[in-house]
Structure formats: structure tokens, C-alpha cells
Amino acid sequence: MTLSTARISSNESFSVVFSLSEVSETEHFVARQEELNAIHKALSEGSGRRAVTLHGLGGIGKTQLAIAYANAHCGDYSAVFWLNIKDEDSVKQSYSRIARRILQEHPLASCLNAITDDSKLDEIVAAVKRWLEHGKNTQWLMVFDNYDNPKVAGNADSAAVDIRRFLPEAHHGSIIVTTRSSKVSIGRRTKVGKLEDVRDSLQILSDASGREAAMDGKLSFYPRRRSTDAYQTRMQPSSSKNWTAYR
């Protein structure tokens, strides 16, 4: 048996079909290649547990960046699990969905076959964590999204979440955390900021409008389909608040 065959065999009973059906993926994601490379480096170097924290302002693109990474590298993992950790109930419900996914494919999965419809959420969380901690189950990826109310120094909110309660304790696997908080530090920290390259901004506008965008001293949008009258729309600022359209 070759090494690659042995690796596939050891992961076979722990593999779960890739799906991100529980998250909304934008139609017009412009790849942040620098940040994607940073995530890949953090999760592929060294040994043992690997983790990266994506932090930045709300709406800046942290979730979409994590989705883009998961889509691009799902083949590197035996299973990819997405968890919403905006509050304790949400993350527990995410664990419950993970348990159902695992049991659909592996009804006799170790640590999970005792789960019933009457099982409490805390029992399900503990069972899934034990499954993830199994010595042969080392190639999974977990994404903890929306960790915006973390239990850290200076946060007196009684509803703040302690993510450590929901992390598998084994020294293996990969983890991505997205957060608005600058105080969260799990693994390597990567700041997600605004797009610096004007070409990326133009690409977003182009995708959203269905037109080709170009900079020729003014911001211009050209139809993607050729027309006989060579129609084009140009937008230029006439004041700080108003835009005038020329046709």
C-alpha cells in the first residue's frame, strides 16, 4: 500500500462531503490573493493544530474571504465545517447541524452513535468534539464565523462567548476565526482591510453592473456586448454629493 493510499484509507471513515449550504456566498467576490495566500501559509506550515484569525471591520469581507479559501482548498481537508459563533446558542446549533451531517454519511461514527433526538445541545457539542479529537481524524477544517462578542479582558457583556469551550482539545486540525475584535488572537492574525488596488474595486463595480469598467481619467463603464451604436455610459463627479451621467 502506498503512502497516499494509506492516507486516504485512514481518513475514509472521517470524510464528509463538502458543503457550505449554511452560509451565503456573494456572486461578485474579488479574490484577495494576498490574504488568501496568508491563510494558506498559516494553515499549511508546521505540524499540529493550525489556526488563523481574520479580523477587521464589519462588512469588510472576512466571511467571504473564509468562504473563498474553503472553496479553493476543500480538497485538502477530509471535512469542512462552518459554525456561526455570534452567540452560544448559535454555535451549539451549528454543532447540532454538524452532527447530523456526520451521521448521514457515517451512521455508526464513533462518539456520535449514542446521539438521539432527545440529546441536549451540550451533549451533542461534546460528542462532536470527541469525534474531531479522534487520533485518526486530523485533516478537518472548522470555520468559526462572526466571533464578534468574545469573552476577553475588558468585555463585561454577560453574553460574551468563550470560544475555547467550543474548540476541540486535540493538537490537530485547522481553524479559521472571523471577528471584528482586535483582541481575539487564535493562531496567526490576518487583518482584512479595505481593497487597496483600484482594479479590484473596478472589478466589483463591473461585476455588479454587468459592464466593463475602465479608468481613462474618469470612471467609465462599457457594455460587455458590442452594439451598433457603440453605446457607453460615463460617470464623473459634478460635486461631492452628486454624479452626472453622460450618454
Q: Is the pLDDT of residue 4 over 70?
A: no
Q: Which helix (H) or strand (E) holds 98?
A: helix 88-105
b/e burial code for range 186-215 (CB count within 10 A of at least 16 → b):
bbbbbebeeeeeeeeebbeebeeeebebee
CA distance linking residue 221 with residue 206, whole number of Å: 7
Contact between 51 and 177 (Cβ < 8 Å): yes
pLDDT at position 28, please? 62
Contact between 95 and 84 (Cβ < 8 Å): no
Most confident of the following: 17-26, 113-122, 173-182, 212-221: 173-182
| Residue predicted with more confidence, 195 or 205 | 195
Angle between helix axes 121-132 and 88-105 (nearest 10 degrees) is 60
Contact between 218 and 234 (Cβ < 8 Å): yes
This prediction's pTM: 0.76
pLDDT at position 31, please? 60
For residue range 151-191, list pLDDT tens digits in order.
Answer: 999 999 999 999 999 999 999 999 999 999 999 999 999 99
pLDDT at position 242, please? 40
pLDDT band at 111 (very low <50, low <70, confident <90, very high): confident
For residue range 19-62, list pLDDT tens digits in order.
Answer: 999 898 876 666 688 999 999 999 999 889 999 999 999 999 99
Domains of the chain by start residue, with CATH: 3-191 (3.40.50.300), 198-246 (no CATH)
Pairing verdict, β 140-145 and 79-84: parallel
Residues 121-139: what's their mean pLDDT? 96
Q: Is the pLDDT of residue 87 over 50?
A: yes
* Burial bucket for residue 110 (CB in 10 Å: 0-12, 13-18, 19+): middle
Contact between 111 and 127 (Cβ < 8 Å): yes
pLDDT at position 247, please? 32
Q: Is the pLDDT of residue 231 over 90?
A: no
- Of the candidate ranges 2-6, 41-45, 135-139, the one whose mean pLDDT is the lowest: 2-6
